[in-house]
Amino acid sequence: MVLDKINQPNDIKNLTPEELEALPGEIRQFLIENLSKTGGHLASNLGTVELTMALHLVLDFPKDKLIWDVGHQAYTHKILTGRAADFEHLRQFGGLSGFPKRGESDCDSFDTGHSSTSLSAALGYCMARDLAGEDYKVAAVIGDGALTGGLAYEALNNASQLSNKSNCLMILNDNEMSISKNVGGMSTNLERLRTNSKYVGLKNRIIGALEHLRNGDRIISKIRNTKNSIKSLMLPNMLFEDLGIMYLGPVDGHDIQAMVKTFNMALSIDGPVIVHVITKKGNGYEPAERHPSRFHGTDIFEIETGLPQRSSNPGYTDVFSTVMRKMGDRNPEVVCITAAMAEGAGLKRFRNMFPDRFFDVGIAEEHAVTFAAGLALGGRVPVFAVYSSFLQRAYDQILEDVCLQNLHVIFAIDRAGLVGADGSTHQGIFDVSFLTAMPNMTVMAPKNKWELSDMLKFAVAFDGPIAIRYPRGEAYCGLKEHRADIVLGKAEEIKRGSKVMLFALGSMVKKAEEVVAQLEEQGIDAGICNARFAKPLDEDYLSTLMDYDMVVTMEENVLTGGFGQQVQSVMVDKGYTGKVLKIAVPDEFVQHGSVTLLFKELQMDSESITKRILDALGK
């Protein structure tokens, strides 16, 4: 096995041509076999095997810096830097992360997980390198999907301001052809001209000479205008060069030697360079080639068929999908927005039934929110379906463009709370804190699948900014008998109790049931209240709890600024003298691992909560 010879960074440079030819197949087989047992991002990694190998052949690790956008396609990079043995515990608690992590290896240059960040980080590295007088290389890999994010264009705009002598290699990994290919003889010949050292030197000498002539600036301007007019007529991909970034490509992203040659050429050029590489998502594994979206982030699966090994009951995303399809039927003013997550966020059925009322804006959450504001002002009822950890990228737009104008925009916040294996960049544990701080915002969380349905209907009929947060995974089917009407700011008492009241938000209601059962075994009569609203809080109901020895708040959100602190503030203001125990995520970034294990580690599982209550009561 050639893979057995890869034990540390740069080992790939010692392989023979024959070994290099065999290595891509071995890496693909390794990824398929391991991810079939652990789950993970398969299609994207199968598509970047040769690209990663080419980069490792031209870069020197850890001296040089390689930055992956999002980072879900960096598995081959991990293998080539000596981490293959750790894949057995990929995305498991204490094991290998599914994303680049500087704490995991000094060959990982930037902690990533969200999109469109790589170019900005790479430019920062380049400036720091130049200011320090160092000579390491900097390369960033960004996908065509990530290039839909506004941050990427801000970086491209800034790249044109780099010193002409500051090289920055930017690789556009195009696996969906969302950017037009440069094809034909004109493109090939101009690429040779642009990268030919004699041509570049001659061009600079001519411009230098003209600058010293009378009217030289006007002559240079006319030459450039003429050149740019010809390019814009004949070449569709001159955006980058118009920004002052040299463009090379397209290059076959599965031809290692072609990429090595192009990357070396790009690294020898003064200034920023973008290399357009064409790859195929899922390459080498037929199920992933046919269904790249399904294998973007896959659970464990059967290698022979590609089918998942374990079936799951309907999740909250499925409930949302069903309700939105029905709401689309009933209300023609309802429109849906996604930021490149139609399938993941549950909008596929709405898109298929109401294509004119469905909008995929790309990986551009900021734009999605302000776009929704415009739709609301135009008389529509926009529903923005988004993962919690991605919504935080649009904080300013929610505050300034929606809440300030008190617009009827619905935020359907999926993956709210702990999400597990994707780790710290994807845990949805901050939205309660930042959304409840915004004037005019209403924030709800359902206890079960029926309440999610009722809350969505309530939100459509509402008037003003409103958010519904719901967790990843199977929808809870308990407490069906408790289905009181949704009334703005009103909680739902499920069990009265006498000494302890568990005031739980959303997904934590189920855990509250388990805790109450355990407390009763200890002779403690505890009640449960389903808060329903994180904002506005049911202050009238809280006033009825003054005689309880303890009020326990429960939420899947960080402690600071969260539901529990706000409940405690209200209770203290009302003169409550008992104890308020706040069950929440500590103020820390939560690493990857199964949700069950993470709850236990955070002392938020039912057994830990029961113990914390007993300790606080002195039992």
* pLDDT tens digits, one per residue of 505-546: 999 999 999 999 999 999 999 999 999 999 999 999 999 999
- Tell me, yes or no, whether 475 lies in a domain: no
- Tell me, yes or no, whether 303 lies in a domain: no
- Tell me, yes or no, whether 561 lies in a domain: yes
Please identify every stretch of the chain with a pLDDT value under 70, giving residue numbers as ranges: 163-164, 176-217, 219-237, 311-312
CATH number of the domain at 57, please.
3.40.50.970
Task: Tell me if 579 sits within 8 A of 553, measured CB to CB.
Answer: no
Question: What pLDDT, on a 0 to 100 scale, did the predictor assign at position 231?
Answer: 45
Task: Tell me if 46 sits within 8 A of 283, measured CB to CB.
Answer: yes
DSSP β-ladder status, 579-585 and 550-558: parallel
- Tell me, yes or no, whether 300 lies in a domain: no
**How many structural domains compose the chain?**
4
- Tell me, yes or no, whether 594 lies in a domain: yes
Q: Two tokens at 471?
A: 């967790």
Q: Do 525 and 418 belong together in one domain? A: no
End residue of a domain, out of 438, 469, 500: 469
* pLDDT tens digits, one per residue of 375-427: 999 999 999 999 999 999 999 999 999 999 999 999 999 999 999 999 999 99
HEC secondary structure over 194-215: HHCHHHHHHHHHHHHHHHCCCC
Amino acid identity, residue 569?
A: S
530 - beta bridge partners? Answer: 492, 504
CA 58/CA 131 separation, integer angstroms: 24
Q: Do 87 and 144 belong together in one domain? A: yes
Task: Tell me if 576 sits within 8 A of 582, measured CB to CB.
Answer: no
Distance of CA 334 to CAs 8, 299, 350, 459, Å?
A: 54, 33, 10, 11
Task: Tell me if 51 sits within 8 A of 277, measured CB to CB.
Answer: yes
Q: Do 462 and 406 belong together in one domain? A: yes
- Tell me, yes or no, whether 310 lies in a domain: no
Catalytic sites, residue numbers = 281, 365, 393
- Tell me, yes or no, whether 61 lies in a domain: yes
**Largest Cα span, the chain:** 97
CATH number of the domain at 545, please.
3.40.50.920
Give the E-state strand segments of 306-372 in sequence order: 334-338, 358-360
CA 80/CA 144 separation, integer angstroms: 24
CA 115/CA 150 separation, integer angstroms: 10
HEC secondary structure over 96-158: CCCCCCCCCCCCCCCCCCCCCCHHHHHHHHHHHHHHHCCCCCEEEEEECCHHHCHHHHHHHHH
Those residues whose C-beta lies under 8 Å from the C-beta of residue 240, and which sit 6 or more positions away, are: 156, 246, 247, 274
Helices 17-38 and 49-58: angle between axes, nearest 10 degrees: 130
Q: Do 225 and 265 belong together in one domain? A: no
Task: Supply the range of the domain harboring residue 559.
Answer: 492-617
Distance of CA 283 to CAs 31, 52, 91, 174, 251, Å?
A: 12, 14, 22, 13, 16
- Tell me, yes or no, whether 297 lies in a domain: no
Query: Residue 68: which H helix or E strand, with range?
Result: strand 65-68
Question: What pLDDT, on a 0 to 100 scale, did the predictor assign at position 209?
Answer: 63
CA 136/CA 127 separation, integer angstroms: 12
DSSP assigned state of 440: T
Q: Do 352 and 403 belong together in one domain? A: yes
**Half-sphere exposure (CA, 13 Å, Cβ side) for 44?**
25
Q: Do 39 and 119 belong together in one domain? A: yes
Question: What pLDDT, on a 0 to 100 scale, did the predictor assign at position 42?
Answer: 96
Q: Do 215 and 363 belong together in one domain? A: no
Q: Do 13 and 37 belong together in one domain? A: yes
Query: Residue 431: which H helix or E strand, with range?
Result: helix 431-436
Q: Do 393 and 518 belong together in one domain? A: no
Angle at 227 between CA 225 and CA 232, to 5 degrees: 90
Question: What pLDDT, on a 0 to 100 scale, did the predictor assign at position 242?
Answer: 82
CA 340/CA 343 separation, integer angstroms: 9
Per-residue burial over 562-601, b if 16 or more Cβ lie within 10 Å, else e, is: bbbbbbbeebeeeebebebbbbbbeeeebebbebeebbbe
Q: Do 524 and 412 belong together in one domain? A: no
Tokens 């790589």 -> residue: 118
Query: Residue 272: which H helix or E strand, with range?
Result: strand 272-278
Question: What pLDDT, on a 0 to 100 scale, did the predictor assign at position 222?
Answer: 62
Q: Two tokens at 544?
A: 């009825």
Phi, psi of 68 (to 5 degrees): -100, 135
CA 462/CA 439 separation, integer angstroms: 16
CA 271/CA 256 separation, integer angstroms: 24
Distance of CA 40 to CAs 33, 299, 318, 420, 472, Å?
A: 12, 7, 21, 12, 16
Q: Do 392 and 456 belong together in one domain? A: yes
**Half-sphere exposure (CA, 13 Å, Cβ side) for 239?**
12
Task: Tell me if 390 sits within 8 A of 344, measured CB to CB.
Answer: no
Q: Do 528 and 571 belong together in one domain? A: yes
Rounded to the nearest 10°, the torsion over CA 346, 348, 353, 357 is 80
* 48 closest CA partner among 288, 340, 298, 273: 288
